[in-house]
Structure 1
Amino acid sequence: MPDIDRLGRVLDRWKAAVDAHDPAAVAANFTEDAIFQGLHPYSIGPRGVAEYYAAQPQGMTAEYEIREYRRLGDELILGYLSVVFSFTDRPALPVFLSVLVRGERIEHYQVSRLT
């Protein structure tokens, strides 16, 4: 399977769970030892991911575009994305996101607000 297809499949599951405001489903896309760096302090593993997304407002959605990707190993893909998080009560938040996907799960997730 082409790397872009696998990366897109994982990100589509992540996006669907974010859009549904389903923190447990978002967290299910991460490895047990995933390093997660959202816009506040980092966490390790799905529990921290679920807590982070549980704190996000209802109605938040994500639109992403894969800007670059690289195969780093047999099961490891690096993805660099632009993501726009939209809200019902405030302006959208554009960010950049780097992910490492191992198999079918995210092993590393780091958001940055570059201008």
Structure 2
Amino acid sequence: MESTGTQQDILRGVIDRWKAAVDAHEPQQVAACFTEDAIFQGLHPYSVGRSGVAQYYDSQPLGLKADYEVLETRELADEVLLGYLGVDFSFVDRPTISVNIGIILKRVDSEWFISHYQVSRLP
């Protein structure tokens, strides 16, 4: 199924919350964007659950900023979306890192959360 405006709006709503928390260095708020049992794969060994997400972002340097572009969205099932993003993580003291991030969003009650997050570093 092709991406629709509604799918992109849902994805952007979740990723805008994630980005605001990353940019503000608020690891607990970043973790709140994820489901309780989310599988999270950043650039370090993977974790499961919000505590692993919070620990990962707590270890990131102050001044880290995320700028993203939505590359693709797909509806996988009712209340489940796939998102594929290009993300540039910038730092105050080193070069920007460009990655692609694949995420799966899941609707829980009336809110959308990230249930799977997988980073691929670009060469």
Q: TM-score, normalised by structure 1?
A: 0.98
Deviation at 1:74, TM superposition (A): 1.1
Aligned residue identity for 1:76 = V
SS of 1:99's partner is strand
> Equivalent residue for 1:48?
52
Distance in 1, matches of 2:64 and 2:85, equals: 18
Answer yes or no: is 1:79 the counterpart of 2:87: no
Answer yes or no: is 1:29 the counterpart of 2:33: yes
> Equivalent residue for 2:117?
109
Per-residue CA deviation, residues 58-104 of structure 1 (Å, 9 max, x unaligned), is: 00000000101100011110001100000000000000000000011
Aligned residue identity for 2:113 = R
Percent sequence identity is 59
Deviation at 1:3, TM superposition (A): 1.1
Q: Give the gaps of 5 or more residues in structure 1.
A: none
CA-atom RMSD, angstroms? 0.9
> Equivalent residue for 1:66?
70
Q: 1:38 aligns with which of 37, 42, 57?
A: 42
Distance in 2, matches of 1:17 and 1:31, equals: 16
Deviation at 1:12, TM superposition (A): 0.3
Instruction: Write out the 4+ residue segments of structure 1 that deviate beyond 6 Å after TM superposition.
Output: none
Deviation at 1:50, TM superposition (A): 0.1
> Equivalent residue for 2:61?
57
SS of 2:77's partner is coil
